[in-house]
Amino acid sequence: MTAAQRINIGLSKVPAWPLYILGLIPPAWFLYQGLTGGLGAEPIKALEHKLGEFALQVLIVVLAVTPLRTWTGINLTKFRRALGLLTFFYVFLHLLVWLVLDVQILSQIWADIVKRPYITIGMVGFVLMIPLAVTSNNLSIRKLGPKTWRRLHQLTYVTAVLGAVHFVMVAKGFQFEPLIYLGIVLALVATRLKFPAKRAVA
């Protein structure tokens, strides 16, 4: 038995549902830190950035599930729905902090979404996640049919790229960190590209 098979057998005993509860801990911890001084003198931006970055990190894990299975045989597919929904939840919280704690002013929120490209891109990324979150259940897979459902969920790639580009555009000066995120996301999306077969057979 290969190592991957042993890992998969071990994982088969681990349920996915606790992720929904465990996933609440990081944002709760960030909020607690923000309320008690752990996020520094200006906790609003810090909380906003932590949530956004964490969402991107979890989204990268989501995107890594398929290549990991292809290349190593380790199968994390059953955890992917929970991680995807958590990503949506974190992005939603990130947006909420921006709306309620950061910008605060309703007229300015709309102006920002329309006028500021990095915010427009972030908003598009979030909006594209809504149908994915809504259809992240077995009933939707049955109703849409697996083929349509899979096509719809390929929007994840678009969302991930938009999220990473949004991060790059927020940075001041030349900074490596957001570019590293973008590089990882692009590499993971690239693993999905289907290259034409070596030779076209007539």
Given the complex with other proteins, which of 161 and 169 has the nearer CB atom? 169
Work out whether 176 is an interface residue with other proteins (CB under 8 A): yes
The region of 85-93, 131-139, 173-181, 186-194 touching other proteins under the rule CB under 8 A is 173-181
Q: Rule CB under 8 A: which of 72-101 touch other proteins?
A: 101
Work out whether 184 is an interface residue with other proteins (CB under 8 A): no
Q: Rule CB under 8 A: which of 19-38 touch other proteins?
A: 34-37
Work out whether 175 is an interface residue with other proteins (CB under 8 A): yes
Helix (H) or strand (E) holding 168: helix 155-170
Closest CA relative to residue 188, chosen from 151, 152, 167, 163: 163
Residue written as token pair 């890992």: 7
Given the complex with other proteins, which of 23 and 34 has the nearer CB atom? 34
Residues that bind other proteins (CB under 8 A): 34-37, 40-47, 101, 103-105, 108, 111-112, 115-116, 118, 169-176
